[in-house]
């Protein structure tokens, strides 16, 4: 009979292969003014490096003045209109805003963030995100000044 240690290895092999894993990576995105910045490829690379082939990925942005959107990534004009819409929906010169210490883009950035959210969870099958043909993941920057945005990507699965 093999030694207990050998048995242990043999017994554990299928267990480890079947076990759920979690793979967490922090990443930074440099933005240069208001707009949307695609990060789909970066998230795809993190999923590949994780070795996880089925499960889900959660992306989170650690800020209150930018957000995340899953948006059409084929024709840039869709994002031009998106930016224009949010500029009008939450104008920088809104007269009743009092939280304006950091400039006219301060309060609108928080509200636009709340309306589009700071996190997205996307399913993974066969090692890749199950995104629709035109879906991409974007950091939605609501500040005029350039920023280094910190994100956390959690890949979860087998």
**Restricting to residues 29-48, which ones interact with its own copies according to CB under 8 A?**
none
The 3-state secondary structure of 77-117, one letter per residue:
HHHHHHHHHHHHHCCCCCCCCCCCCCCCCHHHHHHHHHHHC
Residue 41: closest CA among 23, 59, 55, 54 = 59
In the block, tokens 């995340």 appear at 68
Query: In this chain, which stretch among 6-14, 27-35, 37-45 interacts with its own copies, using CB under 8 A?
Result: 6-14
Closer to its own copies by Cβ: residue 22 or 146: 22
For its own copies (CB under 8 A), the number of binding residues is 72
| Cα–chain center distance at 31 | 14
CA distance linking residue 11 with residue 2, whole number of Å: 12
Member of 17, 75, 93, 148 binding its own copies (CB under 8 A):
75
According to CB under 8 A, which residues from 82 to 141 bind its own copies?
A: 82, 84-85, 89-90, 94, 96-99, 101, 107, 110-111, 114-123, 125, 130-132, 134-135
Member of 40, 44, 71, 144 binding its own copies (CB under 8 A):
71
Closer to its own copies by Cβ: residue 37 or 97: 97
């Amino acid at each position: 009979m093999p030694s207990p240690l050998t048995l242990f290895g043999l017994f554990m092999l299928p267990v480890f292969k079947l076990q759920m894993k979690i793979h967490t990576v922090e990443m930074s995105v440099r933005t240069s003014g208001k707009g949307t910045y695609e990060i789909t490829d970066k998230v795809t690379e993190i999923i590949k490096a994780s070795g996880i082939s089925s499960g889900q990925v959660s992306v989170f942005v650690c800020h209150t003045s930018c957000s995340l959107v899953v948006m059409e990534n084929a024709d840039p004009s869709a994002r031009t209109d998106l930016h224009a819409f949010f500029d009008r929906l939450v104008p920088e010169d809104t007269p009743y805003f009092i939280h304006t210490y950091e400039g006219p883009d301060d309060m609108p950035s928080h509200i636009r963030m709340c309306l589009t959210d700071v996190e997205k969870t996307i399913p993974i099958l066969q090692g890749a995100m199950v995104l629709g043909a035109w879906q991409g993941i974007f950091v939605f920057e609501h500040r005029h000044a350039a920023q280094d945005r910190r994100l956390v990507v959690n890949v979860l699965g087998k």
